[in-house]
């Protein structure tokens, strides 16, 4: 398993806890563990390896005595190694071809038997026409009977990095299979063992049963966890990244002793294609990498010995007192489960004692909190006349089978931003980003409940996935800042695209509710000067509010926090502060300072700005400064000039600034556009997506009468697009 070195002891401890926890149970996603009641998973140590201690010969062997490979690739032990916490199998061309052997692969087998159980591997495929695989197969015992010479093979995953036949088949999916073949016979019909007749008394069948599941990208773009629950002689269930992706009935009795195999080979239906098969690529591209393999068996247990409780309960004390009314209401509920169960939450009108809606979540054994979504055709009216009923029951059962149930009375539904159909707006994605190991990407979304907004970075030239980030959002419309951590900063260039999606929390791309793509995205090299904040760029005049937005210019040499604080200069007392995390480069950011109450109007204020490591306190400031003589006003000043907001004309050329924000309906609203030499299209949308204002202008500033444009209170979006297509989206709150 790969090693990571943390920067602080706290992070180190957290990672250690997470690593130890994950290594002592299978990597099922929430609600996906199929183990039955009264059972627990126990690791099979002699079939598991984190690959941290070299090649362990008591577990693995670098050859298969009965198989030297499939032409044109011969297995060579020199192509097997363990380094950097990984098992590595190399594909290459032969230096000295002979007798039809023109290529080299590699094979590793377990030396210990694999019983019925769960087998999983973290694998990154090579980027060639040769395979990357993980599977189980029987080995013929000593002195076998005629029937024991048959073959039972269970392929967890087989794939290639490049399909020389054209298309992406076998390169972007988890291809799983099972085979039942008769014993070898001399001169098999058609030259294939599968056509051999079964010996007398062997009442088995020849056959194949398979399953396919999409990866959402190429298999060589990153590690995936491939698993199989080899349940019994008749059934197997496949898992991709912890998710159940299909169950098959095995084609015959799979009751022979099985062994694990990791193999890089060639297939007779995918031929070499010099110059196009990846064999001239780097060693890294030609290497299949296995981060770990873990094997598990089910053992009997009772009560706490199972590592899980012996009862199933729900805790209504954990239910919220208030919920935001919506067509999709998310509720968290604490539970204890003795095995896989359904947790159900129902919404009732307490006044009429009428059921309104319900939702359920399937949970695994243990004690935790479930997130349950109740979908309702029409959002219920706000009020305090509601109650919640919670229950836990067998999976798929109805209320008559409840194991435990409870009720929470006095629940209120409150009005809020209920959003709309889940949606991501790729038009709001930026055309260019600064390349970094941590890239922040803004994306406009609409959500009808708690969902994940995901943004992926792709290399458009090679159609390869590079990295992605996600942010969990609540019901409503807004702009999410999604951080994509890349490990290594991608090269600057214009050959990139961004993919955005919105999906249930913790789910994979297969569950996308909406998705879109932005092409023609450029990564540029940002300035990496010494960290600095420029208090000369701070405004002298701000509108008093419970949420004050302050622009500040900065320079950063990496991901850092920019902090702005509001102080009362007369009493030298701190009032509030706001933070935004920035990447390497020089720019101007808007920092929002949230206060419990609006400060009194006056000229007795000052602003302090600083830049510091992410998540740290003022003691770690790298640079800091102050701006005195700051005035807070209760009304918008209609004579405010652009320099009152920012002091750099250069900043105005690439920043759109709106003020005041929040806006009162009787105030003048201002949009600073900068650069008067190009046309800018300005549109203002309400939450339903209706355009309520639009104009095309070369003016640097627009003044808008809020009374005629903003008819109701709520959230609005301002989109500004220039002639180059660069689009900026800002959020405005109208009180």
Tokens of 23: 């290594």
Determine if the peptide bond prior to 72 is cis (ω within 30°): yes
| Active-site option among 120, 153, 265, 358 | 153
| Active-site option among 120, 158, 346, 565 | 158
Alpha-carbon distance 25 to 48, whole Å? Answer: 12
Cβ-in-10-Å burial (0-12, 13-18, 19+) of 404 comes to middle
Q: 296 near 40, Cβ under 8 Å?
A: no
Alpha-carbon distance 55 to 367, whole Å? Answer: 38
158 is catalytic: yes
Residue found by looking up tokens 């947790």 in the block: 343
120 is catalytic: no
Q: 455 near 485, Cβ under 8 Å?
A: no
Tokens of 121: 């591997």
Q: 319 near 331, Cβ under 8 Å?
A: yes
Alpha-carbon distance 84 to 71, whole Å? Answer: 31
Alpha-carbon distance 554 to 532, whole Å? Answer: 5
DSSP summary character for residue 120? E
| DSSP-assigned letters across all residues of 84-109 | TTEEEEE-EEEEEEETTEEEEEEEEE
Enumerate the β-bridge partners of residue 230. 117, 236
Alpha-carbon distance 454 to 576, whole Å? Answer: 31
The pair phi, psi for residue 272, each rounded to 5°, is -60, 150
Alpha-carbon distance 348 to 314, whole Å? Answer: 18
The alpha helices in 550-648, defined as continuous H runs, are 642-645
Q: 697 near 721, Cβ under 8 Å?
A: no
Q: 131 near 72, Cβ under 8 Å?
A: no
Question: Diameter of the chain by CA atoms?
Answer: 101
- Residues classed as catalytic: 153, 158
């Amino acid at each position: 398993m790969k090693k990571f070195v943390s920067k602080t002891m706290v992070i180190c401890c957290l990672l250690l806890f997470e690593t130890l926890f994950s290594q002592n149970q299978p990597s099922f996603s929430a609600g996906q563990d199929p183990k039955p009641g009264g059972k627990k998973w126990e690791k099979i140590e002699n079939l598991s390896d984190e690959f941290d201690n070299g090649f362990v010969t008591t577990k693995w062997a670098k050859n298969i005595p009965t198989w030297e490979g499939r032409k044109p690739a011969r297995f060579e032990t020199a192509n097997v190694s363990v380094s950097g916490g990984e098992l590595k199998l190399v594909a290459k061309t032969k230096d000295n071809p002979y007798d039809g052997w023109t290529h080299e692969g590699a094979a590793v087998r377990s030396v210990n038997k694999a019983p019925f159980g769960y087998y999983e591997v973290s694998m990154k495929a090579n980027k060639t026409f040769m395979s990357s695989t993980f599977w189980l197969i029987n080995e013929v015992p000593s002195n076998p009977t005629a029937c024991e010479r048959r073959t039972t093979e269970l392929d967890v995953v087989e794939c290639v990095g490049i399909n020389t036949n054209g298309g992406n088949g076998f390169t972007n999916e988890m291809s799983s299979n099972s085979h039942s073949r008769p014993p070898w016979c001399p001169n098999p019909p058609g030259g294939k063992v599968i056509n051999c007749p079964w010996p007398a008394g062997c009442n088995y069948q020849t056959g194949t049963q398979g399953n396919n599941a999409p990866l959402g990208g190429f298999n060589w773009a990153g590690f995936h966890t491939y698993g199989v629950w080899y349940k019994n002689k008749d059934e197997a269930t496949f898992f991709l990244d912890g998710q159940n992706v299909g169950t098959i009935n095995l084609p015959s009795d799979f009751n022979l002793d099985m062994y694990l195999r990791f193999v890089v080979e060639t297939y007779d239906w995918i031929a070499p294609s010099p110059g196009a098969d990846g064999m001239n690529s780097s060693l890294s591209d030609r290497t299949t990498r296995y981060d770990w393999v873990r094997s598990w068996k089910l053992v009997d247990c009772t009560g706490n010995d199972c590592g899980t409780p012996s009862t199933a309960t729900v805790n209504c004390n954990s239910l919220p007192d208030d919920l935001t009314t919506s067509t999709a209401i998310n509720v968290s509920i604490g539970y204890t489960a003795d095995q896989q169960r359904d947790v159900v939450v129902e919404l009732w009108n307490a006044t009429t004692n009428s059921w309104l809606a319900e939702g359920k979540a399937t949970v695994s054994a243990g004690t935790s909190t479930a997130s349950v979504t109740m979908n309702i055709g029409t959002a219920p009216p706000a009020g305090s006349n509601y109650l919640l009923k919670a229950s836990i029951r067998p999976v798929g059962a109805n209320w008559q089978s409840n194991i435990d149930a409870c009720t929470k009375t006095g629940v209120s539904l409150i009005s809020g931003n209920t959003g709309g159909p889940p949606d991501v707006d790729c038009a709001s994605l930026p055309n260019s980003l600064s390349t970094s190991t941590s890239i922040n990407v803004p994306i406009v979304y609409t959500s009808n409940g708690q969902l994940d907004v995901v943004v992926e970075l792709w290399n458009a030239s090679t159609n390869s996935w590079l990295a992605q980030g996600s942010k969990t959002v609540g019901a409503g419309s807004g702009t999410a800042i999604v951080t994509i951590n890349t490990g290594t900063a991608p090269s600057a260039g214009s050959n990139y695209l961004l993919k955005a999606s919105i999906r249930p929390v913790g789910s994979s791309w297969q569950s996308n509710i909406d998705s879109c793509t932005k092409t023609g995205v450029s990564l540029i090299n940002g300035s990496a000067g010494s960290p600095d904040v420029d208090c000369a760029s701070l405004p002298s005049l701000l509108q008093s509010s419970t949420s004050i937005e302050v622009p500040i210019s900065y320079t950063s040499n990496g991901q850092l926090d920019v902090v702005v604080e509001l102080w009362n200069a007369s009493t030298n007392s701190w009032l509030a502060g706001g933070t935004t995390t920035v990447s390497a480069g020089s720019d101007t950011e808007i920092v929002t300072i949230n206060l419990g109450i609006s400060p009194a109007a006056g000229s007795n204020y000052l602003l302090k700005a600083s830049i510091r490591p992410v998540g740290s306190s003022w003691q770690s400031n790298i640079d800091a400064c102050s701006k005195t003589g700051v005035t807070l006003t209760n009304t918008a000043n209609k004579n405010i000039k652009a320099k009152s907001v920012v002091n750099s004309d250069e900043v105005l050329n690439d920043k759109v600034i709106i003020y005041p924000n929040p806006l009162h309906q009787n105030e003048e609203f201002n949009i600073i556009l900068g650069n008067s030499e190009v046309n800018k299209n300005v549109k203002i949308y309400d939450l339903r997506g209706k355009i309520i204002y639009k104009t095309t202008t070369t003016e640097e500033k627009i003044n808008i009468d809020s009374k005629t444009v903003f008819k109701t209170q709520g959230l609005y979006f301002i989109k500004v697009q220039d002639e180059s297509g660069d689009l900026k989206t800002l959020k405005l709150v109208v009180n």
